[in-house]
Chains A and B, each alone.
Chain A
Amino acid sequence: MMKLLLPFSITPDLEALSEKDWVFTSDLKVDTSFTPLDWNSFDESALEMSLKLSNQAEGSFCFYRYALTVGEMPCDRFLKTLAALKFDELFRVNPGDADLRFRPEVIARIIASFAQTYAHPDFILMGRQKQVGDNACTPLLTAELLGWPCVTQVIEIEPADEHRLRVTSAVDGGTAVQTISAPCVLSVGDAPCTYLRVPTLKDKMTYGKKAITVMKLEDFPEAEVLLSSPNAELCSLTPIHREREGVLIEADTPEEKAEILYRDYLKGRLERL
C-alpha cells in the first residue's frame, strides 16, 4: 500500500474583498474574517490528483491518504468533505494565536514532524503556493527538512507500480516526465482539470462523519520554537493600486461601442505598430 500525505490550506477568497477592505490593523493583519473560505487552488489540485491515482490504478494498487491542515475550526468543514471522498485519516493542527501567514518554515516543520512521527508516508503531495503569504516555499522546505528530493511544478501523476509514481512536471523550456521512487515531495503547480470532485450524498452520509484529530502547535515543539525568531520579519504592508484612467465608452448598443473603440482608440495605435 502506498501512503500519501496531503497537507492542504484553506484560504479566504481574496477577490471577494473590495478596494476599501484592504486595510490592516496595528499588528499588520488584514481582516478577511467575513470573506468565504475556499481550498487553496494548488492544494485542491494535489488532493484531486491523489484521488485520480486510485481511479487509474483500477484496484491494482491501494493508496492510504492522510489529510493534514493547519488552521482554525472552519477548516473542519473541508476535512469532512475529504472524509466523504474516502480519505483515510484527517488531521487539523490548531495554530492558536500564532501568526503563520509569512512563516512557511513553521508550517514545513509541522508537516515534516507529522510525516516523521506519525504518517511515515511514501509521498507528500501539496500545492506549490499559498494565496495569502505568496511564499512558494513550503513543499521545498518540507523536502529539505526531511532530506527528501522534491519534484516541483507537477501537473500529472500516474501510478507506475506499487511503490513508484510516473510524474509529469513543467520545467523551464518544456515538460519533464520521470518515474519517481519513494520517498519524495511532489509540489503541484498549474495542473489543468484538477478541480476537487464533489462527494455523493451517499458517501457524505456513509463516510463524512469520520473523526478529525485536532492537534495543537505545542504538539510540534520543533515548529513552536521557530516562532520567536523569524529569518524574515514583516515590517510593513502597503495596498497595491494599479488604477488606470478607465474611460468608459458609452453608447446604446455593443455594436456602437465596438465602432467607437476601433475608430477613436485602436485604429491609430494599430497603424503605428
Chain B
Amino acid sequence: MKAILVLNACANDYRIQSQFLAGFLQQRTKGVEADTAVVFHTQEADRAELLSSVPAKEAILICLTKARTETMLNQLEKLGFEQTDRVYLFAGNCFGSELAVRMGQRCGGTFLTGVDTVQCTKEGITVTKSVYSGHMEAEFALKRAPYCLSVSRSSAEPVMQKGPTAEILEEWTAREDTENDFSEDYTLIPGNEEKNLETAPFLLAAGSGAKNKEGIEAMAQAAEKMGAEFGVSRPVAMSAWAPMSCLIGVSGAMIKPEICIAAGVSGAPAFYAGIEKSGFIVSVNSDPRAPIHRKSDIAIVDDWHTVLKHLSDQFPKSL
C-alpha cells in the first residue's frame, strides 16, 4: 500500500521528523511504500534542504505564512482524498497526532495515534500500539480507508535519508482564510534549547521518591557533580519541582544515553518508555517491589540520597 508522509518543516525538528518516519517505514512497516510527502514550510525555508530530507520519491511543498494546524488541516483537505486506499503517516509530535486524528475524521477514514507497527496484506491493514498506559500492546484491524496514523516516538530508530532528492510534484503558498479568526495576538515563544536530554550520553533521572523540591535540587546537584544530564518523571514536573524541559517519558524526552541512573522512580511504563533505549540502566529505590528494579541492569535497594551523595563523591572532579 502506498503511504503519504506529512511533515512539518515549520518546526525546528523537521530533520528528526523525516529521519524518524524513514526509520519507521524501514523497521516497523510491512507492505507499505512511501509514495509522496506533504511538507509544510515557511517562506524562509531552504527548499533544497527540505527536499534532501524527504524519505519519499515526490514531495508536495506547501508554504505557510503562519504555522497553524487549522491552516494545515484546510490545506490537507484541499489535496483531496479521492485516492482513499492510502496510509497517511504523521510524525509522533504534537502537530502530527493532531493532524492525523482531525484529517482522519474529516475524510471519513480511520485514525490512530502513537502507532508502533503497520502491516498491510491482502487481507487488510493491521496496526499495533501500546494501551493501558504502556502495560499492554493492542492490535487493531483498520476498517475504513484512508488510514491516518501518527507514529509512536519510541517505535523506531531514525534513519538518514540516503536516496535521491525528492522531486517536486506540486507546490503552492497557502492563503490564510478565516480558520484562525478565533485566535488573536498569537505569539510563539521558542523553547529552552539548552536542555539536550535526547543526545546526552549519561543521565540521572529523578522521580517522585525525591519527595519534594529540595530533594530534586539535591539530585540535580549530584547529577552536575557526576557530569550527568538531569531529567525527571511526570509527577515531578507536574508538581513544578523541576521545569517541563526536564520531562522524560511519553509526553517528554525519549532518551537513549549509554548510562541512565533512575533514582526515586517507580518505573511506570509511561516514564520507562522514555529511558528504555538506554544502554545501561541503574535503579536506586528504597522500595524492593518497585517495578524499576526489574527493568534495570543493576539495582540498588536503598535510600537514594545517601547512595547518590557517595556515588558522586567517587567521581573524579574532571568528569
Contacts and interface: CB of A to CB of B under 8 A. Distances in A.
A96 interface: no
Interface in A202-243: 229-240, 242-243
Given A240-B135, A262-B315, A144 B106 contact: yes
A240 B294 contact: no
B202 A270 contact: yes
A144 B142 CA distance: 20
Contact of A266 (B135, B185, B234, B259): B259
Given A172-B11, A237-B131, A243-B294, A192 B237 contact: yes
B131 A171 contact: no
A190 B238 contact: yes
B210 to A, nearest CB: 15
A136 B214 CA distance: 34
A77 interface: no
A137 B259 contact: no
Contact of A180 (B182, B234, B259, B268): B182
A254 B269 contact: no
Contacts of A153: 94
B179 A149 contact: yes
The CB with the most chain B CB atoms within 10 A, among A105, A190, A232, is that of A232
A225 B191 CA distance: 44
Using C-beta atoms within 8 Å of the partner chain, give the interface range for chain A.
35 or more
Contact of B239 (A140, A180, A193, A239): A193
A17 interface: yes
A151 B55 CA distance: 30
B276 A30 contact: no
Contacts of A192: 237-240, 244
Contacts of B184: 164, 178-179, 181
B112 to A, nearest CB: 6
**Secondary structure type dominating chain A contacts:** mixed
A44 to B, nearest CB: 10
Contacts of B234: 190
A72 interface: no
Contact of A231 (B106, B143, B295): B143
Contact of B302 (A174, A239, A245, A254): A254
Interface in A148-198: 149-153, 155, 164, 170-181, 184, 189-195
Contacts of A272: 258
Interface in B2-17: 8, 11-13
Contacts of A22: 132, 135-136
Given A235-B140, A273-B258, 11 more contacts: A101-B131, A105-B105, A174-B190, A242-B272, A244-B294, A246-B294, A247-B297, A249-B300, A259-B310, A269-B258, A272-B258
Closest 7 CB pairs of A and B: A258-B310, A262-B314, A172-B11, A254-B306, A231-B110, A174-B191, A258-B311
28 contacts: A19-B291, A133-B131, A134-B132, A149-B180, A155-B244, A174-B191, A176-B188, A176-B189, A178-B184, A179-B185, A190-B238, A190-B244, A190-B251, A194-B238, A195-B239, A229-B143, A230-B143, A231-B109, A231-B143, A234-B140, A236-B138, A237-B131, A238-B136, A243-B295, A246-B297, A254-B306, A258-B314, A262-B314
Interface of A: 14-15, 17, 19, 22, 24, 30, 41, 101-102, 105, 131-137, 140-141, 143-145, 149-153, 155, 164, 170-181, 184, 189-195, 229-240, 242-249, 254-255, 257-259, 261-263, 265-266, 269-270, 272-273
Interface of B: 8, 11-13, 69-70, 93-95, 97-98, 101-102, 105-106, 109-114, 126-127, 129-144, 179-191, 201-202, 234, 237-240, 244, 247, 251-252, 258-259, 266, 268-269, 272, 276, 279-283, 291, 293-303, 306-311, 313-315, 319
